[in-house]
Structure 1
Amino acid sequence: MQVFKVSMKVLKRNYPSILIYLGIFLGLSLLFASQGSRQEEEYTSFETVKTPVAVFAEEDTPLVRGFVKNLSETAEIVELKDEEDTISDALYFRIVTYVIRIPEGFTQSFMRSQEMILEKETISGTFGNTYTDLAVNSFFSTAALYLAADETLSEEALVDKTVSALKERTPVEVKSQNQKEEDGYAKFYFNYMSYSLVSILVLGTSLIMLVWKDKDLYARTEVSPLKRSSISLQKYLALGIFTLLTWSVLNGAYFLVNPRSTPDLPTLLHMGNSLVFSFTAMGMSFLIGTLLKSRNAISAVSNVVSLGPSFISGVFVPQELLGSSVLSMAKVTPTYWYVTANNRISSLGSLQEAQDHSVFTFMLIVFAFGMLFFILSALAGRKAMHP
């Protein structure tokens, strides 16, 4: 077990730098997970924003007063002087984004079902004005329907009926097919763990592989009675222990920073999914360490293989916000399948649901990537020249 002992000594000698990297990546994962969970709550919530509106009425009637009062529930009524320069400045500086002018004789024409157009000025490209347009159209369209049904209605009665109708709200309830409420923090934390795992494992692997690429040590190993298969197995064993330690620390940190977490089914599936990804990340790291001979080159490649897939696979940006072409490219990376499995695990309630949502299939795909990396590293090791 000489190779194993030397590999572990290398890790032990460099454990301060590894711990620093581990602390940095763990801190980033915790920060990104908390921010991502908070942003997801904001994305899924809706709150009406009142648009600043100025109303100039050239007549004072019950219909006009009822309209302005109803509009104030969805818009902020701003008082302005009825001067062209003042209105233009208010629109330019976004003091108001919508100006309505009710001309003289509007109420009389409306009550007679005659066409009378409201004058308005808006700032183009302001999305909030859409809600103001909707509020204006809803009020007068509803009033027109009541008036068409009963032409004898007075202005006061017409306004009362219109306002009462517009106050009616249809309750909307969104039901999920999943039995368990989605744990957003767990999903984001385990998604960001993929970035941390790849970065840390590539660092630790590079330290071990570079030692064994030393010419003198390589020559002594070649003339030793140790078989190459035994040497490789001992390296795998050392890297496997390092991988398990890294995985254990990252998973243990999840329970420390999230006291509400319990080892329920989704959490156990998250941990299992991350363990499979750890195996794949170890294979990737071993392949990188086998192919490259410079520590600087390994650091550069580490940034590419950790940051690149994280951006296109849904770690830093949710998959729902990525384009189909980007996701198509991401499918050639194990990170995409790992993140997809995490997203589905976060709202599962039973093992049957996990099977129905192809979670285990995605884990198997991630595992297949790991086997491919180990096979490629074995082939690359056979064809490698003397250092």
Structure 2
Amino acid sequence: MYVTDFNYDLPQELIAQHPCEQRDGSRLMVLDCQAEKIVSDHFRQVDRYFEQGDVLVINDTRVIPARLLGCKESGGKVEVFLVRKLAEEGECWLCLTRASKGPRPGTRLLLGDQLTATVMEGGGDGYRHIRFDVEGDFLSLLDKIGRLPLPPYIDREPQGEDRERYQTTFSSRPGAVAAPTAGLHFTPEILDKLRAKGVIVCPLTLHVGLGTFLPVRVDNVEEHRMHAEAYCIPDETAVQVNRAKREGRRVIALGTTVTRTLEFSVDPQGELQAGDGMTDMFIYPGYRFKIVDALLTNFHLPQSTLLMLVSALAGREFVLQAYRQAVEERYRFFSYGDCMLIHNVIKEAS
């Protein structure tokens, strides 16, 4: 299976550079896998595709302003991109750095007039372990001096609207460097409408990492390795998901991050396990899903691991057919783009 098997042609102008005026104003493409039917709808009507007793699992991670600009104490500009925290105690983070000359261990960094840091360890590909010197709450300071990390295909600097619109309305646990973008469409009113219909809404946390932006650099799909990301599944979420599976009710994942977390955390008996940890799970065609029955997701980059995951759930040819139709119908693509619902899935899809 080759990475090029997941390619499609996308006109540049269909890559959404700004969010819709209203959160729920996007379009919705619905894929019925068993009937091999594709329907175009509007996201505001998404509740019509839910049934009483469905369990919708959401990702409550919150994007941190992970880009820090400054200079080395000895001079020279430097940009620091927070990737993930390395320990519970202190503020030591795995970071990417960008500078004319990479900072060596022991280098002091001046990041604005409120934050200093020390490079503790070097690494390949620009990664560094960096300890930040801060009194008080580090994340509160980041909110003041950090910049939001928009995806590289959004060809502009972050603006005021992004502080709100590149977060889900239910984000509550800071730690991601990219948004779980399928959740960007949801308003509190839509979630209330689903709950009134008898849908059970449960959270988990997966702090989306930098790997979501990185291209696949191998030719053979099976040779790719994912970056590890931190996750947490609450006890009540595991209870609700396991009860739904036993009773034959659907579990609907809001996004690929939720999908990977759920599928990673299943024990050999098919029970979802609560708890936290790190996952580097890579899902591609041939995988047999154990938990997820339906998926709400955005449109993904050509040859990306996210497109491979979607293809594992709905079938590669059917997904690529849907993407070609989306291009023809001028759907908006990627993080700030439109949404897709995949349901009536065939678990052995490939």
How high is the TM-score relative to the length of structure 2? 0.20
More RCO (CA 8 Å, sep 6+): 2
Please say which structure displays the higher CA radius of gyration. Answer: 1
How high is the TM-score relative to the length of structure 1? 0.19
Greater per-residue strand proportion: 2
Greater per-residue helix proportion: 1
